[in-house]
Amino acid sequence: MNSLIDKLSIEGRLSTQEYRSLLACADDDAVREYAASRARETALARFGNGIYIRGLIEVSNVCRNDCYYCGIRRSNRNVSRYSLSYEEIMECCRTGYALGFRTFVMQGGEISGAADEAITDTVRAVRAEFPDCAITLSLGEKRREVYQRFFDAGANRYLLRHETVTPDHYGRLHPAEMSLEGRLHCLYDLREIGFQTGTGIMVGSPYQTLDNIVADVLFIEKFRPQMIGLGPYLPQHDTPFAAFPAGSMNMTLMLLSVFRLMFPDALIPSTTALATIAPQGRELGILAGANVVMPNLSPADTRAHYALYDNKRATGTEAAEGLRALEAQLESIGYRISFDRGDYSPSGGVRPAGG
Ligand code: 5AD
């Protein structure tokens, strides 16, 4: 297996069968740790020991979708719904800016119509008040015109996980009114508009097979996103999938390493879901090749209501306190916070185009 990892590190890709064999070894500690060590070297060579921070603002938990895995799905009556006001979002950004954040991520449930106008206005205001900051949006599927308005208002990046690229798996995770095709269409629109675009999957989502994961790796290989978001599936007690077990931390770590070796320049977060599944999850993600963390800047009293899954980490900590804890956490493994804006920038020339 180590020779496959070396091959991936040199060529940036493997055959379908080789990806499959490698990923099948996710629970083999020696193989996974070798992949992590190569991925870590790759990230260190490209980014040094700086980890980019993105201030996450959970702007609303109102959602028109009914994804079977997600705690803020429309049918969940036990969620108390909120939407932050323009002024509240600006306050989060001001707090974050003072702490050194230079990227703000506005994430929320999918709502359309008036909400899109409100977001556009907010993006414009953030862009005006913080011209040196990047604005990332994570607000689900929109018509291309809406994405274009977000972009014109000053948004730079967009996160939209495809969740799974296998149509019947997609159909088992989502109600019939949602389509994989629609989602992929959105990703291509975002990229064409000029967003730095992120996609990704939940690892170990219900009914996911190894072949599904391999298909996702191949899709990501082809799509070449600038950002890749991965976290284990975690059950939420009010969803139809409450009884499904959490996804595998080992597979999540293995995939982080595989993606880092495929894409040395990619922005790859060590996610909150990973930090939730294991006490050292965040550190392990970084040691497997991740180079971004997304601390929460949402008002402390709304965080508990943005519960996509149970036991979400750090719902009570205030932003400044959280940042100090993060600093210590990173230091303990030989890393530090990078306060750079951290845009995607291809280094080029390191390896022949196409791998
Ligand atoms: N467990 C883990 N991740 C989840 N997401 C939604 N629900 C869950 C869950 N139960 C992820 C999805 C979505 C992102 C915002 O959060 O991948 O794209």
Q: Is residue 158 part of a domain?
A: yes
Which ligand 1 atom lies nearest to the CA of residue 235?
10
Which ligand 1 atom lies nearest to the CA of residue 160?
18
CA distance 287 to 37: 8
- Give me the domain span that covers residue 57: 47-330
How many domains are contained in the chain?
A: 1
Any atom of ligand 1 within 6 Å of the Cβ of 234:
yes
Any atom of ligand 1 within 6 Å of the Cβ of 273:
yes
pTM for the model: 0.96
Any atom of ligand 1 within 6 Å of the Cβ of 275:
no
The CATH code of the domain that includes 247 is 3.20.20.70
Tokens of 224: 């070449």
Q: Is residue 8 part of a domain?
A: no
In angstroms, what is the span from residue 332 Cα to ligand 1's centroid?
A: 28
Q: Is residue 338 part of a domain?
A: no
Would you say 149 and 120 are in contact if contact means Cβ atoms under 8 Å apart? Answer: yes
Q: Is residue 342 part of a domain?
A: no
- Pocket mutation for ligand 1, best pick of 69, 106, 203 (most atoms within 8 Å of C-beta): 69
Rounded to the nearest 5 degrees, what angle is found at the Cα of 288, between the Cα atoms of 32 and 340? 170
Nearest CA to ligand 1 atom 14: 161
Residues 105-142: b if buried by 16+ CB within 10 A, e if exposed: bbbbbbbeeebbebbbebbbbbeeebeebbbbbbbbbb
pLDDT tens for each residue of the chain, 355 residues long:
999 999 999 999 999 999 999 999 999 999 999 999 999 999 999 999 999 999 999 999 999 999 999 999 999 999 999 999 999 999 999 999 999 999 999 999 999 888 999 999 999 999 999 999 999 999 999 999 999 999 999 999 999 999 999 999 999 999 999 999 999 999 999 999 999 999 999 999 999 999 999 999 999 999 999 999 999 999 999 999 999 999 999 999 999 999 999 999 999 999 999 999 999 999 999 999 999 999 999 998 899 899 999 998 766 677 888 899 999 999 999 999 999 999 999 986 455 443 3
Tokens of 138: 């994570």
Residue 266, SS3 per DSSP: coil
Q: Is residue 4 part of a domain?
A: no
Q: Is residue 141 part of a domain?
A: yes
Q: Is residue 346 part of a domain?
A: no
- Pocket mutation for ligand 1, best pick of 220, 294, 308 (most atoms within 8 Å of C-beta): 308
Q: Is residue 15 part of a domain?
A: no
* Helix locations, 81-162, DSSP H: 86-99, 114-129, 144-153
- Pocket mutation for ligand 1, best pick of 56, 136, 202, 230 (most atoms within 8 Å of C-beta): 202
